[in-house]
Structure 1
Amino acid sequence: MPKEGKNITENVNTPPGTATHVGDKKMENAKLTYTKYNKEKIDRKNIKDIDEFINDQETDKVKWLNITGLQNTELIENLCQALDIHPLVIEDIVNTGQAAKYEDYEQYLFLNTKSIVFNKEDELDTEQISFLLFKDQLISFQESESSIFSPLNKRLAEGTYIRKNKADDLLYGLLDTVVDHYFIVMEKIGDEIDLVEDELLSDPNKDVLHKIYTLKRELIFIQNTLWPMRNVLNTLSRNESDLIDERTNRYFQDVYDHAIQMIDLTETYRDISSGMLDTYLSSISNKTNDVMKILTIYSTIFIPLSFLAGVYGMNFKYFPELNWKYSYPVFWLVSIFITIMMIRFFKKKDWL
């Protein structure tokens, strides 16, 4: 099941601004990928020292440093301190239990977002992706190595419009990639709902009930992740910061619209899963009613037979029929006749 809190007690009672990694340790060593580009050229490489990024004096290119792995808090702290980043921002970067948020520090913008992924056990989980946007450079922080930014890297290599613009367009492209990844997750959830619906109609059982509850929890988990993202994107699309061009705001509005679409789809799927739960309960109730109906019919058939058996089982001394040699066969004929007539009556009423 999805984890709604990741070791959140690790950061309890520590001073504000303490850079303590909170969450699963997904990578032993941080990976630094440095990308520089303009409309004519792009250069991407892995670097070992943050000084190569900090001391780069080129001004005609957009610079993007992607840090994968948040366990090395010393490296992240040194980088942020060199760029005069607020200590509370550093704390939010390494605290993976943090909700999505947006903060404007005039010289830079900080965004904390969540990517929804399926882990190795094929269960829903989140990965935190944080961004620091400056005038001509962007720094992103990922929990673990993934292919979520591969489509954007491909577009950069092909020289699309992002190469012709500033770092705010790169931020738009990265956020758009994160939100688009929600569509992949929701498509898989939709396929799972279709399968559970088929199982529910063919054979409602406890396994189906477990799957329905799992779906409901997953959808609640997704919705709780999407709402803070919606607020971040809404604020970003109306932002008046000098670091974001007015033209780019329209693109952020488009990403915001995609997030709203995901929230609507999540609510639709939640309604469907609630309907499936009602259908399951109705099916179980119908099964119980069918069993009770059969038991009632059999009981009703045996009531007159039990009455006859009870009458002739009484210990009275004088029973005229007992001295008649045909009394036993007649008793069975009467019992069989009553049974047949009652069965015919039940079938006529469509109770059988």
Structure 2
Amino acid sequence: MATDDGFGRGLSRVLPAPVRRAVDRMRSTGPAAPDPAGLDGDRRSAVVDCALYVDGVRQPGDWDYREALAAARHARKAFVWLGLKEPDANELADIADTFDLHELPVEDAVKSHQRPKVERYGAMTFVTLRTARYVEHAELTDTSEVVESGDVMMFIGEHFIITVRHGDAARLAPVRAGLGDKHELLEHGPWAIAYSVYDLVVDGLIEVAAAIEEDIAAVEDSVFARQGSGRIQRIYQLKRELMEFKRAVMPLQRPLAGLASGQLADVPSEVRRYFRDVNDHLTRTVEQVVYFDDVLNSILSARLAQVSVDQNNDMRKIAAWAAIAGWWTMIAGVYGMNFKYMPELNWKFGYPVFLALMVAVSLAMYRAFRRSGWL
């Protein structure tokens, strides 16, 4: 298979001649890249991108992950970044055989909604993160969520890093684009990519926290306004979405703190400094989440108290109007008994006088109830 001149020069620069000839044979006899139709012919490949980095520089050309791994193992300061999106078990099994991945994290990587963690499997480290994205109100329907969550998992070895993404809450294309001129950072190997992914995910959490803060402020204003009308359903929805957000933020503290403090010896000391910066950002976000939880609890309690007060006010209004109507009912009931001898029964002005009396007493009662705050 013919290659462009840039790729040929890159290949000759990173590989010894025997290895280069072996890779050339692989490229001439096998597929240059995973079949876009998928391993079973019915599904598109989960491979989003495969890149080979040497001395902090991405090598030109389209790499198959088998060739890229072979090149990385025979070059100095080289590693492979393989990006996957929602792979199925069959495709991930083939990649696991190529990179010699442990079966337990491979099983976890097929599924989403994993708890954030850092686990060691021999010479490989498995990392999981929960991602989150704020959904703008214009995109919402009655059943939509304010916070959309997902997962990013990473297999990190000496010569490779494999990222597995579930959902679209944190797309990694900005990381690839941003690493183009960060050669000094990339010289530290796969953990430089891991830091960049952590940084992207935590930045996304910070944006979600800022958006939720605005929503909470809006709900708080509506609840404590003079004519408060904040719906309890909206407060409950925010609280539910905050709980979903907490599942992404709170469990991330311990594994990220471990990477920043040097508990994992594989993380280069220079990269560890970057992890500490990300950990500081996460700590501030955790403090925000705890504060949001307390504020929402206070708002919910205040709104429930308002509902109780409103119900009491309604009952007092009903009682006041019932008392006024009761006066009319009493007079009408007495004179509706049809007895022959009743006071003022034959009086010429009896009817208008009693009507005027009923109106006068009703107005007096209305004024008294208004003064007492019942109406």
Partners in 1 of 2:183 and 2:156 — Cα distance? 20
State which of 82, 85, 89 in structure 2 corresponds to 1:69. Answer: 85
- Say whether the 8 Å CA contact 2:83–2:162 is kept in structure 1: yes
1:271 alignment partner AA: D
1:141 paired with 2:164, answer yes
Shift of 1:219: 1.0
Partners in 1 of 2:167 and 2:373 — Cα distance? 63
Deviations 1:80-112 (A, max 9, x none): 223332211211222224322211234221112
1:182 paired with 2:197, answer no
State which of 83, 104, 116 in structure 2 corresponds to 1:88. Answer: 104
State which of 88, 92, 109 in structure 1 corresponds to 2:125. Answer: 109
Match of 1:337?
360
Distance 1:224 1:312, change over 3 A: same
1:243 paired with 2:266, answer yes
2:71 alignment partner AA: D
1:204 alignment partner AA: S
Instruction: Pick 1 or 2: higher relative contact order, CA cutoff 8 A, min separation 6.
Output: 1
User: Normalised by the size of structure 2, how large is the TM-score?
Assistant: 0.75
User: Normalised by the size of structure 1, how large is the TM-score?
Assistant: 0.79
Partners in 2 of 1:130 and 1:276 — Cα distance? 37
1:266 paired with 2:289, answer yes
Percent of paired sites with the same residue: 25
- Say whether the 8 Å CA contact 2:54–2:75 is kept in structure 1: no
1:279 alignment partner AA: A
User: Map of 1:194-273 to 2, 5 A cutoff?
Assistant: 194-200=217-223, 201=225, 204=229, 208-273=231-296
2:237 alignment partner AA: T
1:107 alignment partner AA: A
Distance 1:40 1:231, change over 3 A: closer
Deviations 1:48-77 (A, max 9, x none): x32122211453344242322233433322
2:65 alignment partner AA: I
Q: Report the secondary structure of 1:318's partner residue.
A: coil
Partners in 2 of 1:82 and 1:192 — Cα distance? 47
Structure 1, gaps ≥5 residues long: 1-26
1:291 paired with 2:314, answer yes
Match of 2:11?
none
Shift of 1:182: 0.8
For the aligned residue pairs, the C-alpha RMSD in angstroms reads 2.9
Structure 2, gaps ≥5 residues long: 1-42
Deviations 1:16-54 (A, max 9, x none): xxxxxxxxxxx732124223345674336544x321222
1:255 alignment partner AA: V
Distance 1:245 1:108, change over 3 A: same
4+ residue segments displaced more than 6 Å: none
1:52 paired with 2:70, answer no
1:159 paired with 2:182, answer yes
Q: Report the secondary structure of 1:324's partner residue.
A: coil
Partners in 2 of 1:251 and 1:74 — Cα distance? 36
1:83 alignment partner AA: F
Q: Which one is further off, 171-180 or 255-264? A: 255-264
Partners in 2 of 1:82 and 1:40 — Cα distance? 23
1:82 alignment partner AA: T
Count of residue pairs the alignment pairs up:
323
Deviations 1:209-230 (A, max 9, x none): 3322221111111112323222
Shift of 1:298: 1.5
- Say whether the 8 Å CA contact 1:67–1:141 is kept in structure 2: yes
- Say whether the 8 Å CA contact 1:179–1:258 is kept in structure 2: yes
- Say whether the 8 Å CA contact 2:133–2:170 is kept in structure 1: no
Shift of 1:265: 1.7
Deviations 1:107-152 (A, max 9, x none): 2211122212358865333322111222343222223577633443
Shift of 1:293: 2.2
Partners in 1 of 2:323 and 2:243 — Cα distance? 49
Shift of 1:163: 3.4
Q: Report the secondary structure of 1:96's partner residue.
A: coil
Partners in 1 of 2:251 and 2:56 — Cα distance? 37
2:309 alignment partner AA: N
